Chains A and B, each alone.
Chain A
Amino acid sequence: MIRKHLRTWSLLTALSLSLVSVVTACGGNENGNSGSSASPNSNSPSANASGVSDSKENVKLKFTYWGSPQEKKAMEDAIKAFEKQNPNVKIEGLHIPGDDFLQKLNAMIAGNEAPDVSYSASWKLKMGEEGLIYDFNDLMKEDPTIKKEDYLTYAWWNWAADKSAGPFQASVTPTLMYNVDMFKEAGVELPPTKAEEAWTWDEFVAVAKQLTLDRNGKHPDDPGFDPKNIKQYGVKYSLGWNGYMPLVLSNGGDYLSADGKEFGLSKPEAAEAIQKIADLINVDHVAPSPVQASSIPAPATALQSKKVAMVVDGSWNHLDLSKTKLNWGVGVLPILKDYKTFFHGGSLVIFKSTKHPKEAWEFSKFLTDPNNVLELHQGLWMPQMKKWYEDPALIDKWASEDLPGRPAGFQDAVMKSTYEHEVPAPENNVKNFVEIDAAVGPALDQVWLGKKTAEQALKEIESKVKPLVQGTYLK
């Protein structure tokens, strides 16, 4: 008798346990093992509780972002500062590390738990087309304190000529960073800091050669130089678009043709520039190939360990460099003909599903103001409002050369040179950039390895890229 009941009871327990676990899994955050995203308190309960959304009512915002531990801390400080200024607003900051930010965001949107404000990457353009996010132009219309002209000319993510997902919130630019001691030891003059005095490409290569040594201490032009045993490289050039595009632009080339109808990289001016960078590796022997580069650490460490004397890469590295004891400097980029460069960066988007657009707008403005995230603007990022480049008092706050993240010459070499020679970056200007880049990358793989010339490799993918070329957003 007892056994009979035991069996029934154990079966009932097993069934109810399984049903409970299934229901919990379904009802909660369907993304399961997201360690950092707390069980989402969606906005709906609080909005319903507060009734009509009044500015004095309690408002809850959800903000999703990514970034290093440093960035996370800076964001948390910014959130606290905003909450202090606006005591009726509570912000739930969700830090989502890793590469699956979009996956988690998609799941949140699908589950009707989209955040109010979020970091965003190029997928925001599709969301704009689908009507998921606010057009920044609409938001600006209602706010008298902000005008489009206040911002850098090309620092916008637009999904149509007149529809914008917003301005950059975290600007960076390609820069030339170097180890001062290595230059002094080799008796080489330091890189110029004024755009008007920028090195020509040949001058740049000559300097790099003086700073390249093989295991026997020989330079590339010395007899008996062994390119297979290089101990120290003159320069590590970023092989992504943030590395080759400034040089392409300086040679009169561009990602697309002037009318935006044709692929520009396969044209002579662009191909020539890309070839020159590849030659750094295979002809001049002053730069590491992708194979060797894979074992060279990030710029800050590479300069510190004296593996390379110069690095051409993004300015976000200034933050890491500022934390080392290295004697480092910045210079203007080398050019072929004219000095041209760009800002690029991420932006904040505000989802239309937000119940509190006004507060979300205020928060996004708050985060874009360097005053509120000052520490990150002193190394990792650069501002996107023009006044921060023109007003000496403001310049001093983020670009004073007393700051560890801003070495001597920074204002000329990075701030002014980019501000005064700004063109759009391909990332936010070229339609379908992500897909075109996905085709360009593999083609350039062969160029960096010396298997094909830039012209050959890029011409080969021309036909594949053609259907993706559909013009630009900004210029």
Chain B
Amino acid sequence: MSVISTETQRNIGPKRRKAFKNDLNGILFASPAIIGFLLFTLGPMIYSFYVSFTDFSGTNVPSFIGLDNYERMFSGKDQYFYKSLGVTIYFVVLSVPTAIIYSFLIALLLNRDVRGKAVFRTIFYLPSIVPIIAISFIWLWLLNPDLGLANEMLQSLGLPTSQWIFGEKSVIPSLAMMNLWTTGGTMIIFLAGLQDIPRQLYEAIEMDGGSRLAKLRHITVPMMTPTIFFNLIMGIINGFQIFSQAYVMTNGGPNNASLFYVFYLYREAFQFSRMGSASAIAWVLFAIIMALTIIIFKTSRKWVYYEGEGTR
């Protein structure tokens, strides 16, 4: 008994030590990211949460004012809160589904084995790495109602022209359209997902006489639901935070039709010098996005199909 236990002990000892060492190595390697998160993300988040209950202006000594900032927003005293929320939700509802459908279709095309497919893939991906400020300036010119290419093309086809970003009703659809051009990242993720679909499933449906549409409906889309799920969440998170287009192209106009939520936040902070209020606005956005993400996660069980899970 004792012989075995000593031997066993001698065997366990080094193993446990090795396991501990492995853990320590892992933590050490992750430490830069952890420290960075604590110092630059979590710390400021806690501070901003505190500031949201004060009247901090950016330069004064903050004094506690309780829920005043939040009350101003929700009661409607702040005339821009509900408007900017509505504008942003409208943009998200318009841009996220269209972006997903569009990039999915392009990914399907890019997945085909054609000549020069590397060139095509590059062309479609490139706009997503151009800084959004530069993109905003390019599209400012493309969408100029008098001189821009967009209206020139519409006119030459005999179609009615649009005021694009200068019209109250057309500004958000214009920005949603512009957003499609920058969906290269989403496309690549879809592409990767498409290439993961096992070939034998397609072969099986071919043997059963399935058309291309059937392939799409019964194999491609179900197998892609995890990727669609991911892109949906990312799309919503990013869509709610849209800022540069309002800042560079429209200044929130015309008549606040493009007063995006983060642009409204920026204005509170740096034009009206109300950091406390801006922090409250930021935290409300955090709560909204968090709530939506949780909802989508909860409902995902119904429609996301992970390979190897068996039937739903």
Contacts and interface: CB of A to CB of B under 8 A. Distances in A.
Contacts of A132: 59-60
B79 A15 contact: no
Contacts of B25: 7, 11
B271 A434 contact: yes
A interface secondary structure, majority: helix
A292 B252 CA distance: 18
A22 B28 CA distance: 15
A459 to B, nearest CB: 15
Given A11-B28, A14-B29, A443 B163 contact: no
Nearest to B77: A467
Contacts of A40: none
Interface residues of B, number: 33
Contact of A446 (B58, B77, B254): B254
Interface in B47-87: 57-61, 77, 79
A126 B253 contact: no
B28 A438 contact: no
B270 interface: yes
A26 B36 CA distance: 11
A5 to B, nearest CB: 14
B254 A449 contact: yes
Given A18-B31, A435-B272, A106 B59 contact: yes
Interface in A422-475: 434-435, 438-439, 441-443, 445-446, 449, 451, 464, 467
A2 interface: no
B261 to A, nearest CB: 16
B39 A26 contact: yes
Interface in A101-138: 102-103, 106, 109-110, 123, 126-127, 130, 132
Size range of the chain A interface in the assembly: 35 or more
B101 interface: no
Q: Which of A14, A15, A435, A438 counts the most chain B CB atoms within 10 A?
A: A438
Given A11-B25, A123-B273, A126-B59, A439 B79 contact: yes
B79 A446 contact: no
A128 to B, nearest CB: 11
A15 B254 contact: no
Contacts of A123: 273
B166 A441 contact: no
Interface stretch (B144-152, B183-191, B194-202, B203-211): B144-152
A442 B252 contact: yes
B146 A292 contact: yes
B272 A130 contact: no
B32 interface: yes
B35 A130 contact: no
Contacts of A434: 271-272
Contacts of A442: 252-256
B267 interface: yes
Nearest to A102: B270
Contacts of A445: 253-255
B163 A291 contact: yes
A288 to B, nearest CB: 9
A110 B58 CA distance: 8
B145 to A, nearest CB: 5
Interface string A1-12: 000000100010
A292 B145 CA distance: 8
A130 B146 contact: no
Nearest to B270: A102
Contacts of B267: 438
Given A291-B146, A434-B271, A130 B57 contact: yes
A294 interface: yes
A290 interface: yes
B51 to A, nearest CB: 12
Contact of B29 (A11, A26, A290, A439): A11
Contact of A15 (B28, B146, B270): B28
A181 B91 CA distance: 48
Contacts of A438: 267, 271-272
Interface string A281-314: 0000000001110110000000000000000000
Interface in B169-193: none
Contacts of A294: 140, 144, 166
Nearest to B256: A442
A126 B36 contact: no
A434 B57 CA distance: 15
B270 A14 contact: no
A235 B53 CA distance: 50
B146 A295 contact: yes
Contacts of B252: 442
Given A442-B253, A445-B254, A15 B31 contact: yes
A11 B254 CA distance: 56
A291 B271 contact: no
Nearest to B32: A18
Nearest to B269: A103
Contacts of A292: 146
Contacts of B163: 291
24 contacts: A14-B28, A14-B32, A15-B28, A15-B32, A18-B35, A19-B35, A22-B36, A22-B39, A26-B39, A109-B59, A110-B58, A126-B57, A126-B59, A126-B273, A130-B57, A130-B61, A132-B59, A291-B166, A292-B146, A435-B272, A439-B79, A442-B254, A443-B255, A445-B254
Nearest first, the 6 closest Cβ-Cβ pairs linking A and B are A18-B32, A130-B60, A445-B254, A442-B255, A106-B58, A445-B255
Given A100-B270, A127-B59, A464-B79, 18 more contacts: A14-B32, A22-B35, A22-B39, A106-B59, A110-B58, A126-B57, A126-B59, A291-B145, A294-B140, A295-B144, A438-B267, A439-B79, A442-B255, A445-B253, A445-B254, A446-B254, A451-B168, A467-B77
Interface of B: 25, 28-29, 31-32, 35-36, 39, 57-61, 77, 79, 140, 144-147, 163, 166, 168, 252-256, 267, 270-273
Interface of A: 7, 11, 14-15, 18-19, 21-22, 26, 100, 102-103, 106, 109-110, 123, 126-127, 130, 132, 290-292, 294-295, 434-435, 438-439, 441-443, 445-446, 449, 451, 464, 467
